[in-house]
Structure 1
Amino acid sequence: MLENFFRNWNKKRLKNKKYDFLFDEPLPNEFISLDCETTGLNPKKDEILSIGAVLIRDNKILMRKTFNVFLKPSKNINAESIKIHHIRKVDLENALNPEDAIYQLLDFIGSRPIVGYYIKFDVTIISKYTKNFIGIKLPNETIEVSSLYFKTRKRSSDYEFIDLKFDTILKTLDIPALGKHDALNDAIMTAMMFLKLKDLTPAKTTFYTN
Structure 2
Amino acid sequence: MTMNWLKQLSTAWQKNQLQRPELASMFTAPVDEQWVAIDCEMTGLNPKKHHLLSVAAIHINGDKIDTGNGLHLLCRPPVMPEGDTIVIHGLRTADVEHAMSYDEMLGLLLPFISNRPLVGFCPQIDVGFLNPLVKHYMGTHLPNEIIDIRPLYSRRMMGRSQGLSSQAQHLNSILAHYNIPELGTHDAYNDAIMTAMAFLHMR
Residue 28 of structure 1 aligns to a residue whose secondary structure is: coil
Cα contact 1:38–1:46 (8 A) shared by 2 = yes
| One-letter amino acid of the structure 2 residue matched with residue 121 of structure 1 | I
Cα contact 2:80–2:97 (8 A) shared by 1 = no
1:15-34 alignment runs, 5 A limit: 15-34=19-38
Number of matched residues?
A: 198
2-structure distance, mates of 1:160, 1:56: 27
1:79-118 alignment runs, 5 A limit: 79-118=83-122
Question: Does 1:50 find its partner at 2:19?
Answer: no
Cα contact 2:154–2:164 (8 A) shared by 1 = no
Report what 2:138 is aligned to.
134
Q: CA RMSD in A?
A: 1.6
| TM-fit CA distance, 1:180 | 4.7
2-structure distance, mates of 1:159, 1:58: 30
Report what 1:164 is aligned to.
169
Deviation string, structure 1 residues 55-101 (Cα, Å, up to 9, x no partner): 11121001112000100010121111112111112222441011010
1:168-183 alignment runs, 5 A limit: 168-183=173-188
Moved more, 143-152 or 41-50: 41-50
- Structure 1 68/161 Cα, relative in aligned 2: closer, same or farther at 3 Å? closer
Residue 70 of structure 2 aligns to a residue whose secondary structure is: strand
2-structure distance, mates of 1:118, 1:182: 15
| One-letter amino acid of the structure 1 residue matched with residue 142 of structure 2 | L
| TM-fit CA distance, 1:122 | 0.8
2-structure distance, mates of 1:127, 1:44: 12
2-structure distance, mates of 1:109, 1:187: 13
| TM-fit CA distance, 1:18 | 1.6
Question: Does 1:152 find its partner at 2:152?
Answer: no
2-structure distance, mates of 1:160, 1:98: 37
Residue 197 of structure 2 aligns to a residue whose secondary structure is: helix
Report what 1:64 is aligned to.
68
Q: Which runs of 5+ in 1 are unaligned?
A: 199-210
Residue identity over aligned pairs, in percent, reads 35
| TM-fit CA distance, 1:29 | 1.0
2-structure distance, mates of 1:160, 1:191: 21
| One-letter amino acid of the structure 2 residue matched with residue 117 of structure 1 | F
Cα contact 1:37–1:49 (8 A) shared by 2 = yes
Question: Does 1:184 find its partner at 2:189?
Answer: yes
Cα contact 1:36–1:122 (8 A) shared by 2 = yes
TM-score, length-normalised on structure 2? Answer: 0.92
| One-letter amino acid of the structure 2 residue matched with residue 65 of structure 1 | N
Report what 1:37 is aligned to.
41
Report what 1:77 is aligned to.
81
Deviation string, structure 1 residues 94-134 (Cα, Å, up to 9, x no partner): 41011010111001101111100001111121111011111
Cα contact 1:44–1:128 (8 A) shared by 2 = no
